Structure 1
Amino acid sequence: MLRPVGPLPAAVYWRRRLLVLLLVVAVLGGGGWLLVAALGGTPGRAATATAAATPQAAATGPPALERVLPSVAGVRTPTPAPEPPAEPAPAPTQTPGGPCSDDSIELEVRGPAGAPAGSKPTFELVVTNVSPVPCVRVLDERLQEVLMLDAAGRRVWGSNDCFPGDGTETRTLAPGESVTAALVWGGRTSEPSCTTPRTTPQPGDYLLRGRLDTEVSPDVPFTIS
């Protein structure tokens, strides 16, 4: 196969083979170029167009970070709804001429700041209508009471323990009007049944507290010397 056979010199046959090989290579190369041109156009021009378009797209498009994360300025945070204003508590109402509620009266204990042991001081229970309209309050003696407590809050004496009283009274109180009831302390201890021995409290600091049925006054200091 490799050695030429024929009447002509061997060089002639080698030249013919070389010429045929060149023709085959040329045909194959031309066919490949035509196939590429038919499928995608000219390779050199496509590469040039792609290279030219890439910088322009990069220049006009958003930065790479903004394509991944949104801009802070573009993020909208919701605004919290304002809290409704607090409504004031409704003022207690008092029906004109009706019964005085506990909110409509003020109770106070008045008297000396102190007294010697064994003495008999007088205390006053003062009831005042603090509402803007007149109202009616039951002032029965059994509903009125002054209590004495020691520093630990233990009961020492009560005005109704041994002498509860049986008087009845219903009073119409005008706005700002006060009613005073005087109660005398006998100077000795007592308890509600008034059955235990009554003794003279020891000198020291005590508290006085008034009561009119369900209404209770603030405590008032009292000293026994």
Structure 2
Amino acid sequence: MTQKKPLPEEIYKRRRVAALIIVLVLAVVLIWAAVAAFGGSSDEPADTAAPAPTPEQTSSSAAPETSEAASETAAEASAEGASESKAAESEPSSAAPASSEAAKKTCDLADLQVRTSMLNYSVPEGELPKFFMTVTNPTAADCKIDLDKNLLRFEVYKMADNQRVWSDTDCYASVQTGSQTFPAGKDVKFEAEWSRQASKPGECTDRPTAEPGAYFAHTVIGDNSSPPQDFTLR
């Protein structure tokens, strides 16, 4: 059997150097991998850690809570104010002044409220107008009026020229004379009917018939007159 000739010593040295280099390279690779696996998380504190809040961020983050608390306080104050206001409205006020008329303990002619009304404000031909006087005493005292001195009467005027056409007292006595009491807080009513004939005081014959058209009526006690009441004769 033929034996192999040994290689030169230089070749064995090269092989040993190459093997050593490979071992060193592998060792370096293993060390780098180990460092990357176990120490990588500690090398990145700046990327993973939350930054500390700045004073501006602290004040801005606290502002909504402060604003919300202020809103809740304002809402509670508003609710309390509304409750107090509602309670104040529901309770009668002892300081509220009574009306001057209701508080008045005396009554004069000028205190009486006089109104005029009719059954029909457009009176057909052949129908006689009927007027009603309503006298209200709004005071807290009975009102005694001398109707002989303060004549109670019904008056009719033309709408076109305000000319007086008729009064029930031109030719007849008033529907109410003498002393008349108007009770406190009560209404008293009187009525009169017009013949549709014009009249003047003391001129009670040959009275002309009032023409169709627009008129208004007053009811009067002394110098206390009702507002005018419009009506039409047809």
* TM-score (structure 1 length as normaliser): 0.52
Give the aligned partner of residue 144 of structure 1: 152
Give the aligned partner of residue 6 of structure 1: none
Deviations 1:103-138 (A, max 9, x none): 321011111212124432221111110113333233
2:109 to 102, 105, 118: 102
Task: Kindly provide the amino acid, as one letter, of the partner of residue 177 in structure 2.
Answer: T
Matches within 5 A, 1:63-212: 91=100, 94-96=104-106, 100-111=107-118, 112-139=120-147, 143-151=151-159, 152-165=161-174, 168-195=177-204, 197-212=206-221
Contact 1:114 1:223 in 2 (8 A): yes
Contact 1:141 1:165 in 2 (8 A): no
**Count of matched residue positions in the alignment of Structure 1 and Structure 2:** 133
Partners of 1:131 and 1:142 in 2: CA distance: 19
Alpha-carbon distance change, 140 to 126 in structure 1, aligned in 2, over 3 angstroms: farther
Alpha-carbon distance change, 141 to 200 in structure 1, aligned in 2, over 3 angstroms: farther
Deviations 1:144-178 (A, max 9, x none): 11111001100111111111248534333332201
Give the aligned partner of residue 214 of structure 1: 223
1:133 aligned counterpart, secondary structure: coil
Identity %: 26
* TM-score (structure 2 length as normaliser): 0.50
Alpha-carbon distance change, 219 to 110 in structure 1, aligned in 2, over 3 angstroms: same
Displacement of 1:190 in angstroms is: 0.7
Give the aligned partner of residue 81 of structure 1: none
Flag structure 1 segments of 5+ consecutive residues without an equivalent. Answer: 1-89
Higher helix proportion (structure 1 or 2) = 2
Displacement of 1:202 in angstroms is: 1.4
Flag structure 2 segments of 5+ consecutive residues without an equivalent. Answer: 1-98
Partners of 1:142 and 1:135 in 2: CA distance: 13
Farther-moved stretch of structure 1 (131-140 vs 205-214): 131-140
Give the aligned partner of residue 8 of structure 2: none
RMSD: 2.7
Alpha-carbon distance change, 121 to 195 in structure 1, aligned in 2, over 3 angstroms: closer
2:170 aligned counterpart, secondary structure: coil
